[in-house]
Chains A and B, each alone.
Chain A
Amino acid sequence: MRDALLDRDVFEPEEGEIMEVSMGPHHPSTHGVFRMDVKLEGERVVRLKPVFGYLHRNHEKIAEHGAYLSAIPYTDRLDYLCSMTNNWGYVLAVEKLAGLQVPERAEYLRVIVAELTRFQNHAGLIGFLLQDMGASGTPLMYAFREREKILDLFESLSGARMMCNYMRFGGLRVDATKEWLDEVRALTGRLPGFVDEFEALLRANEILMARTQGTGVLPRELAINASVTGPMLRASGVNYDVRKVDRYGVYDRFSFKVPLGEHGDVYDRYMMRLLEMRETVKILEQAAKDIPEGPIIDPKVRLRGLRPKAGEAYGRIESPKGELGFFLISDGSGNPYRYRVRPPSMINLTILEDMCLGHNIADVVIILGSVDIVLGEVDR
C-alpha cells in the first residue's frame, strides 16, 4: 500500500503476522521517556511511529506567565545536558527583540562555555550510543570522567553543575577569574589526548563497523526537506552550521572546520561527533588565548523589568543537537506574549521512521541513539 507522506510503498504482508511492539516509555536505553510503536514482520520494521509528550512540562506556558528574566532557569532544563547553549539561544533572541549589545569579553566567555558544553555533550552521546550497542558502560565511564572535569569548571564559574543559569540579556551573570581561565587552558591542553584515547577504544572494532555502516541512511534531500539540523544533517553531506552561516557572537574570529559525512549512516553520525570534538578543542584554544578584559554585561540593560517594544524576533544558535531557536512575540509588557522554542531533537525525529524501515528491531535502538535526542527538549 502506498503511504502518501513517505511517498513509497509500505510493506503489508498478506499472510503471516504483523507484531506490534511498544518500545518505551520506560526503556533501558537512557534517552528518556520516549515511546515507539513499532510494527514488525519477523525482525524487520514495517511501520514505526514515535510517541512522546511524556515529559511535556509546559515550559512555553510557564514562560508566558512570567517575566523575560524568569524564563532563563527554565531554558536550562530544556536540553538538560547542555544548559549553557540553551541559555545562549534564549538571550540571543531577547537581544534581537530588544536591540541589546553584548560586550566583547562576554562574547568570548560565551563561546568558551558553549564549546565546553558541546564537547561534553558529544562525548556523552558517543558513550550512550556505544552502550546501546552493547559496550556496556566502559565508553560511558570514559565520557563521564571528562564530563565531570568540565562540570567542575561550570560549578566554579556559575555555582551549579548542570543548571547553570549563567547568561543574561546583554552579557553574563558572573565574570570568570584569571585562575578559571588558566584551568580552562590546562584542560584544553589535555583534551586532544582524551579524544585520541576515546577514539582508539573502538576505532577498528568489527562489531561497530558491521552494525553501524550502512544502517539508518538519511539521504541529503530528505534531510533538508525534513528540517534536520546539527551533526545529523552534516553527516548526510549538507554543509550548514549556524555558527558559520549566521556568524553570531564572535565565531567569525575563530578558524575551525565543519566536518561533513558522505553516507549519512550511523557510522558517519558517530564519526561526526568525534571530529566535531576535535574542532571544538581548536575553538577553545583560540578563545582562551585571545579573550580580552572588560565588562561582561551591557550596563544600560534593565534585567528585571525588561519591556521590549512590541514586535517579534527569532534568534538561533548551533547547539550540540542542532539549530536551537527561540521565537518571541512581545506586546510591550514585561511578559512574553508568545514564547516558542524550536526543538532540534523533536524535528530531527521527523524522519526516524524513514531511516528505520527495513532494518531489524535491534538497529532501531542504535539509529535512535545516533539521532541524539534529549526528551526535555523534544517535549518541552
Chain B
Amino acid sequence: MALPPVEELKAQIEAGVPGASATVIPNGSPSAQHSLLLDHAHARAVAEFLRNHNEWRLDYCTLVTGVDWPDTETSEKIKVKKLVKAADGTESEQEVDEVRKTKVPGYLEAVYHLFSMEKKHGQVVLRLRTRNRTDDTHVPSLTPVWRGAEFQEREAFDLYGIVFDGHPDLRRILMWDGFKDYPMRKDYVPPADEIPVVETHS
C-alpha cells in the first residue's frame, strides 16, 4: 500500500500530533514530489510520529540538505493618493502610480527525504526553515529520531551555518575547525588566493 497524497499526510499529522502545523509546499516540476513545511516546536514530535506510524513506518531518512534562500526584493505598482501641484499652482489630491519595493527576508532551509525500508515505499519530504540568515539560524535537530542524519546535519552546519538544536556533536565536518565562513551560501566570496609576485625591473 502506498503513502497517501500529501494533503492527506498533512491532515493526519495535524491530527496525530496536537499543535503541529504542516504546510504543503507544492513542487512545480514533473516529478511532483511535494513537501511539508513543519514548525520548529513540534518538528521532533512529528518526526517520531512518522517513524512510528503503524502503516507508514518511515524509518529511513535518506537525505538531509541545506538550502540557502537569500533576501529578495519584490516590487509592486500601487495607486497612492497624493497631493499634486497642477500647472496653475493649485493643489489637488489625485491617484498616482508608485512603485513600492518590499524586502522579503531570506532564510536557510533543511530538507529531509524520508522513505520506509520496512514497507518499501516513500517518499515524504519535510522542510524546516530558519527565521532569517543572520542572527537566528536555529532549527531543531532530527538526529535523535534518525541517526543517519548525524553527519548530514553537521555538513549543513558547516557549509550553510544552520544550527541544529539538540544535535549531539555539532561541529564542522568538511572544513577545518578554525574556518570562519559558510562557503555554500550564495553570497560567499572566496578570498583572493593569489599574492602577485612583484618583480621590479630597474
> In the complex, are the beta carbons of B174 and A227 less than 8 A apart?
no
Distance in Å: Cβ of A322 to nearest Cβ of chain B = 10
Interface centre among B60, B67, B146, B147 (most CB of A within 10 A): B147
A111 contacts the other chain (CB 8 A): no
Name the residue on B nearest A223 (C-beta): B117
> In the complex, are the beta carbons of A225 and B62 less than 8 A apart?
no
A56 touching B175 in the complex, CB below 8 Å, given contacts A325-B62, A329-B67: yes
A146 contacts the other chain (CB 8 A): no
Residues in B124-148 with C-beta less than 8 Å from chain A: 125, 143, 146-148
What residues on A are CB-neighbors of B113 within 8 Å? 314, 325, 327
> In the complex, are the beta carbons of A60 and B184 less than 8 A apart?
yes
A131 contacts the other chain (CB 8 A): no
Name the residue on A nearest B68 (C-beta): A338
Contact partner of B111 among A58, A229, A308, A327, CB < 8 A? A327
B193 contacts the other chain (CB 8 A): no
A26 contacts the other chain (CB 8 A): no
Residues in B155-202 with C-beta less than 8 Å from chain A: 168-169, 172-176, 183-184
> In the complex, are the beta carbons of B151 and A96 less than 8 A apart?
no
Cα of A311 to Cα of B34 in the assembled complex, Å: 9
A350 touching B148 in the complex, CB below 8 Å, given contacts A227-B60, A327-B113: yes
Cα of A225 to Cα of B149 in the assembled complex, Å: 9
B29 contacts the other chain (CB 8 A): yes
Cα of A327 to Cα of B147 in the assembled complex, Å: 20
A309 touching B30 in the complex, CB below 8 Å, given contacts A225-B146, A240-B117: yes
Residues in B39-94 with C-beta less than 8 Å from chain A: 59-63, 65, 67
> In the complex, are the beta carbons of B123 and A347 less than 8 A apart?
no
A347 touching B120 in the complex, CB below 8 Å, given contacts A227-B62, A311-B28: no
> In the complex, are the beta carbons of A350 and B183 less than 8 A apart?
no
What residues on B are CB-neighbors of A97 within 8 Å? 29-31
Cα of A375 to Cα of B152 in the assembled complex, Å: 16
What residues on B are CB-neighbors of A275 within 8 Å? none
A228 contacts the other chain (CB 8 A): yes
Q: How many A-B residue pairs have CB under 8 A?
A: 110
Task: Report the count of interface residues on B (CB-CB < 8 A).
Answer: 37
Contact partner of A99 among B30, B175, B183, CB < 8 A? B30
Name the residue on B nearest A380 (C-beta): B174
What residues on A are CB-neighbors of B12 within 8 Å? none
A201 contacts the other chain (CB 8 A): no
A310 touching B174 in the complex, CB below 8 Å, given contacts A226-B148, A351-B147: no
> In the complex, are the beta carbons of A240 and B173 less than 8 A apart?
no
Interface string of A230-248 (1 = CB under 8 A from B): 0000000010100001000
> In the complex, are the beta carbons of A342 and B62 less than 8 A apart?
yes
What residues on A are CB-neighbors of B65 within 8 Å? 327, 338, 340
Distance in Å: Cβ of A90 to nearest Cβ of chain B = 14
> In the complex, are the beta carbons of B147 and A309 less than 8 A apart?
no
Interface string of A307-327 (1 = CB under 8 A from B): 011111110100000010101
> In the complex, are the beta carbons of B29 and A311 less than 8 A apart?
yes
Distance in Å: Cβ of B190 to nearest Cβ of chain A = 10
What residues on A are CB-neighbors of B63 within 8 Å? 314, 325, 327, 340, 342
> In the complex, are the beta carbons of A313 and B29 less than 8 A apart?
yes
Cα of A350 to Cα of B173 in the assembled complex, Å: 12
What residues on A are CB-neighbors of B143 within 8 Å? 5
Interface of A toward B, CB cutoff 8 Å: 4-5, 52-53, 56, 58, 60-61, 96-99, 222, 224-229, 238, 240, 245, 308-314, 316, 323, 325, 327, 329-330, 338, 340, 342, 346-347, 349-351, 379
**A-B pairs with beta carbons under 8 Å apart, 16 shown:** A52-B173, A53-B172, A56-B175, A97-B29, A224-B59, A224-B117, A227-B148, A240-B60, A308-B29, A309-B29, A314-B33, A327-B65, A329-B67, A347-B151, A350-B150, A351-B147
Q: Which 4 A-B pairs have the closest CB atoms?
A: A227-B148, A311-B29, A99-B30, A313-B31
Taking A52-B173, A225-B147 as given, write out 15 further A-B residue pairs in contact, using a Cβ cutoff of 8 Å, ordered by the A residue number: A97-B30, A98-B29, A99-B29, A226-B147, A240-B117, A309-B30, A311-B27, A312-B33, A325-B62, A327-B63, A329-B67, A338-B67, A340-B63, A347-B151, A350-B148
